[in-house]
């Protein structure tokens, strides 16, 4: 019976990690529903971007207040994981504060003291985040797409962090030996007096309870990630690594179109030629994107990485002037549809069964897509290099090339380009007239 | 005004130093034509050996591409590349950031590889090479704010060339609160120039004009014919035509040098 806690701990750990791995595999499968795009080049530059932007948070701090608070929570999150490692070892082997023996009193005191200060700072930062989301009138947290689950999700994460930090500090405060040693307890020593009336046994029970809820809470939080916008803590790294490295103004040239255009412009091409043998039944490639599987895996990873901070939307000229378009909503819709497709695949033994829905119209309306000025403000602003503009462009391509569904004025502009080589109805022969007018 | 064409040049067996890509706006839009002429005056003053395609120039396809019509874009691109490569063009300069972006970034993948400059970069080089000087007395003391074109700024990270030229005019350059990489779009990009805006509570060009007016400028400087139109309309909407003018940097330099 004396090994019962160790066994329960090992089971909880195995279950928590196992469930997490299962969901991550699902996540990777869903991302791989996207089309291939080569992002294996320029490895040093990619690595540099990841270190600067994801690890170094260089784009977060462009907004100093939220950037600074975010760094506290981020550093706290990473560093306090050393403590979690100790908890896991203790849990598995029934030891107590194993690192104290291994590292020696002095260094251990320094570490735990540092963790305590971080935990307190994280707690304060998270409370400020909560106030920003729920009390201050910060426009980007009040948008339409942030009603319901997205708002709850944001708050849930903050509650999780508040509770975990509190448990860590109370656990230390009620550890009698730890407090008696009086080292490494710069914060928890002020919590200890709250438990003055308790017996040694009572304190031990509280300490153990906090210890258990803390580690179980971490396992629950780990598994909450998949269902939440909080996945960015993992995906920010691959997302910045695989992000586009070309000039932001450079849009892709569709290869499938190049083939067709070359054929059209080739004077020797036979318009009545039969398709090559074996390709008679081939379905021509779809131009642009109307659903998630038409997007690239990078765009789908972008969608899972988005943490709905709304910095993109807060700088979008269309959104700032009251239009329907919100780049954040484009990313959220893409992820929600991808999740729906993923659930469909799970429910149908690994095959997607047409559900009569798609990303276009069922999630994203043409009105949103046509409001974009392609100014790249959203792309520039994203702290983890998400590219909402590329999705908007791919969907416009579908609307125009597959559905001929451009706004009438744009159809006229395109007809003019076709006929006169200019977006307006002027004669090509008048193109140099400007030189002689004055 | 002397504006030689590539066809003339070829007939004389000459190859100019640079091709001036005028763009649709610079060729047909009454306001933008003035920018083309101002830039040509600068080229003449610096004795740059240039030529245009004239009637052989056609839309780069930028607007078609951003509207989603990749077919039309690639048709235009292939036709233009055929013409450009036929004349063995190596170096291109343009006053239109949209043409600049498309020629520089999107043509190479289709076989059109050129060294492409925005006119502010090109003029900056002329100054560096000692071929052009800007008179800093004509406009001295004017308050100027610069509106970054998205396709020059964020799209291609060119923020300094236009600003360095403005500083050489001897004017006071005052920045808007949203500038350089955080600049607000004028509302014309992504083919918006050619359609009405979607339903909203404001026009984008009005919002951007308000940004500019906060700096209390005498002049709003631009580096894009479409931005120029949008900001000019914004100034009219705000009824500030008497106090504020919208000018391309090329026009300001031509004015400063009394060309």
Cβ separation B105–A413 shorter than 8 A = no
Cβ separation B74–A438 shorter than 8 A = no
Bridge partners for B116 per DSSP: B92
Does A312 touch chain B if contact means CB atoms closer than 8 Å?
Answer: no
The pLDDT assigned to A288 comes to 96
Cβ separation A438–B37 shorter than 8 A = yes
Token reading at A362: 């069922």
* Closest residue by Cα to residue B22 from B121, B95, B80: B95
Neighboring chain A residues of B194 at a CB cutoff of 8 Å: 409-410, 412-413, 423
pLDDT digits (tens, 9 = 90+) for B6-22: 999 999 999 999 999 99
CA distance A301 to A117: 35
* Closest residue by Cα to residue A195 from A206, A209, A187: A206
Neighboring chain A residues of B118 at a CB cutoff of 8 Å: none
The pLDDT assigned to A8 comes to 93
- Residues of chain A under the 70 pLDDT cut: 1, 280
Residue A258 C-beta-side C-alpha neighbours within 13 Å: 10
* Minimum distance, in Å, between the CA of residue B200 and any CA atom of chain A: 4
Q: For the CA atoms of A154, A155, A158, A164, what is the dihedral angle to 10 degrees?
A: -120
Complex prediction ipTM: 0.96
- Residues of chain B under the 70 pLDDT cut: none
Chain B interface mutation, best of A373, A377, A416, A437, highest count of B Cβ atoms under 10 Å: A373
* Minimum distance, in Å, between the CA of residue B20 and any CA atom of chain A: 12
Q: What is the DSSP letter of B157?
A: -
Neighboring chain B residues of A262 at a CB cutoff of 8 Å: 78
Segment holding A264, helix H or strand E: helix A255-265
Token reading at A149: 């689950």
SS3 sequence of A183-230? CCCCCHHHCHHHHCCCCHHHHHHHHHHHHHHHHHHHHHHHHHHHHCHH
CA distance A416 to B61: 11
Tell me the C-alpha to C-alpha distance, in Å, between residue A306 and each of A237, A310, A432: 12, 9, 49
Neighboring chain B residues of A412 at a CB cutoff of 8 Å: 194
* Minimum distance, in Å, between the CA of residue B55 and any CA atom of chain A: 5
* Closest residue by Cα to residue B99 from B25, B163, B48: B25
Closest-CA residue of chain A to B179: A377
Does A139 touch chain B if contact means CB atoms closer than 8 Å?
Answer: no
CA distance B99 to B116: 10
Q: Taking a contact as any Cβ pair under 8 Å apart, which residues of chain A between 201 and 260 contact chain B?
A: 246-251, 253-254, 257-258, 260
Neighboring chain B residues of A385 at a CB cutoff of 8 Å: none
Helix, strand, coil percentages, rounded to 5, for chain A: 70, 0, 30
Token reading at B93: 């300069």
* Minimum distance, in Å, between the CA of residue B208 and any CA atom of chain A: 9
Q: Taking a contact as any Cβ pair under 8 Å apart, which residues of chain A between 258 and 287 contact chain B?
A: 258, 260-262, 264-265, 287
CA distance A234 to A336: 19
Helix (H, G, I), strand (E, B), or coil: what is residue A34? coil
Instruction: Give this prediction's pTM.
Output: 0.95
Q: Are B154 and B114 in contact (CB under 8 A)?
A: no
The pLDDT assigned to A1 comes to 63
SS3 sequence of A306-372? CCCCCHHHHHCHHHHCCCCCCHHHHHHHHHHHHHHHHHHHHHCCCCCCCCCCCHHHHCECHHHHHCC
Segment holding A170, helix H or strand E: helix A149-173
* Closest residue by Cα to residue A244 from B77, B105, B70: B105
Residue corresponding to tokens 């070892």? A89
Neighboring chain A residues of B151 at a CB cutoff of 8 Å: 249
Burial class from Cβ neighbours inside 10 Å (0-12, 13-18, 19+) for residue A71 reads middle
Neighboring chain A residues of B116 at a CB cutoff of 8 Å: none
The pLDDT assigned to A263 comes to 86
Neighboring chain A residues of B36 at a CB cutoff of 8 Å: 434-435
Q: Which residues contact A268 (CB under 8 A, 6 or more apart)?
A: none
Q: Are A378 and A316 in contact (CB under 8 A)?
A: yes
Bridge partners for B219 per DSSP: B144, B245
- Chains A, B: CB pairs < 8 Å: 223
Q: Taking a contact as any Cβ pair under 8 Å apart, which residues of chain B between 211 and 250 contact chain A?
A: none
Does B68 touch chain A if contact means CB atoms closer than 8 Å?
Answer: yes
CA distance B227 to B93: 18
Q: For the CA atoms of A4, A9, A11, A12, what is the dihedral angle to 10 degrees?
A: 140
Residue corresponding to tokens 């919208």? B246
* Minimum distance, in Å, between the CA of residue A394 and any CA atom of chain B: 7
The pLDDT assigned to A277 comes to 75
* Minimum distance, in Å, between the CA of residue B40 and any CA atom of chain A: 9
Chain A interface mutation, best of B70, B101, B108, B205, highest count of A Cβ atoms under 10 Å: B70
pLDDT digits (tens, 9 = 90+) for A293-316: 999 999 999 999 999 999 999 999
Nearest to B70 among A397, A409, A437 (CB): A397
Chain A interface mutation, best of B68, B104, B187, highest count of A Cβ atoms under 10 Å: B68
Q: Are B253 and B40 in contact (CB under 8 A)?
A: no
- Start-to-end Cα distance in chain A: 99
Closest-CA residue of chain A to B24: A422
């Amino acid at each position: 019976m004396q090994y019962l806690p160790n066994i329960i701990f090992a089971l909880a750990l195995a279950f928590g990690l196992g469930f997490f791995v299962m969901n991550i595999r699902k996540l990777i499968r869903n991302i791989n529903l996207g089309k291939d795009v080569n992002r294996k080049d320029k490895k040093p530059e990619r690595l540099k971007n990841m270190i600067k932007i994801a690890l170094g948070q260089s784009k977060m701090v462009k907004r100093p207040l939220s950037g600074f608070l975010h760094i506290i929570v981020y550093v706290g999150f990473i560093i306090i994981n050393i403590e979690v490692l100790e908890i896991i070892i203790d849990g598995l082997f029934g030891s107590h504060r194993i690192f104290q023996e291994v590292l020696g009193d002095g260094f251990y005191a320094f570490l735990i003291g540092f963790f305590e200060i971080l935990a307190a700072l994280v707690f304060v930062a998270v409370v400020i985040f909560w106030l920003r989301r729920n009390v201050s009138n910060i426009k980007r947290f009040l948008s339409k797409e942030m009603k319901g689950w997205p708002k709850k999700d944001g708050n849930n994460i903050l509650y999780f962090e508040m509770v975990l930090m509190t448990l860590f500090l109370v656990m230390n405060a009620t550890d009698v030996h730890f407090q008696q040693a009086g080292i490494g307890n710069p914060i928890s020593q002020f919590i200890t007096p709250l438990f003055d009336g308790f017996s040694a046994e009572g304190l031990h029970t509280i300490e153990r309870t906090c210890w258990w809820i803390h580690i179980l809470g971490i396992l629950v939080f780990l598994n909450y990630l998949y269902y939440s916008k909080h996945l960015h803590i993992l995906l920010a790294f691959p997302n910045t690594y695989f992000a586009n490295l070309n000039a932001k103004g450079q849009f892709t040239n569709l290869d499938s179109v190049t083939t067709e255009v070359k054929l059209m412009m080739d004077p020797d091409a036979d318009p009545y030629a039969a398709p090559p043998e074996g390709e008679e039944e081939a379905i021509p490639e779809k131009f642009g994107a109307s659903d998630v599987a038409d997007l690239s895996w990078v765009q789908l990873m972008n969608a899972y990485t988005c943490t709905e901070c709304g910095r993109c939307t807060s700088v979008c000229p269309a959104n700032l002037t009251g239009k329907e378009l919100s780049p954040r909503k484009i990313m959220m819709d893409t992820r929600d549809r991808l999740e729906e497709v993923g659930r469909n695949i799970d429910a149908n033994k690994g095959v997607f069964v047409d559900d009569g829905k798609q990303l276009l119209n069922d999630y994203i309306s043409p009105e949103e897509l046509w409001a974009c000025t392609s100014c790249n403000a959203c792309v520039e602003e994203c702290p983890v290099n998400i590219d909402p503009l590329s999705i908007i462009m791919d969907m416009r391509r579908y609307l125009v090339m597959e559905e001929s569904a451009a706004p009438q004025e744009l159809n006229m502009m395109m007809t003019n380009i076709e006929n006169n080589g200019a977006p307006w109805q002027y004669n090509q022969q008048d193109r140099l007239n400007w030189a002689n007018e004055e | 005004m002397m504006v030689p064409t590539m066809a003339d040049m070829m007939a004389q067996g000459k190859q100019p130093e640079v091709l001036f890509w005028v763009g649709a706006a610079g060729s047909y839009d009454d306001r933008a034509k003035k920018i083309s002429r101002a830039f040509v005056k600068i080229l003449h003053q610096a004795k740059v050996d240039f030529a245009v395609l004239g009637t052989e120039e056609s839309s780069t396809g930028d607007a078609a591409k951003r509207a989603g019509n990749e077919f039309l874009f690639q048709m235009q691109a292939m036709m233009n590349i055929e013409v450009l490569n036929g004349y063995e063009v190596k170096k291109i300069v343009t006053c239109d950031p949209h043409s600049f972006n498309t020629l520089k970034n999107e043509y190479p993948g289709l076989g059109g590889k050129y060294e492409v400059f925005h006119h502010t970069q090109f003029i900056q080089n002329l100054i560096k090479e000692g071929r052009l000087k800007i008179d800093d007395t004509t406009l001295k003391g004017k308050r100027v704010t610069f509106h970054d074109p998205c396709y020059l700024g964020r799209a291609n990270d060119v923020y300094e060339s236009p600003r360095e030229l403005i500083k050489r005019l001897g004017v006071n350059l005052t920045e808007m609160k949203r500038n350089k990489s955080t600049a607000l779009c004028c509302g014309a990009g992504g083919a918006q120039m050619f359609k009405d805006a979607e339903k909203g509570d404001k026009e984008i060009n009005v919002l951007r004009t308000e940004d500019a007016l906060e700096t209390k400028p005498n002049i709003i400087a631009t580096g894009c014919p479409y931005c120029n139109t949008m900001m000019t309309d914004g100034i009219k909407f705000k009824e500030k035509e008497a106090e504020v003018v919208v000018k391309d940097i090329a026009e300001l330099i031509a004015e400063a040098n009394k060309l």
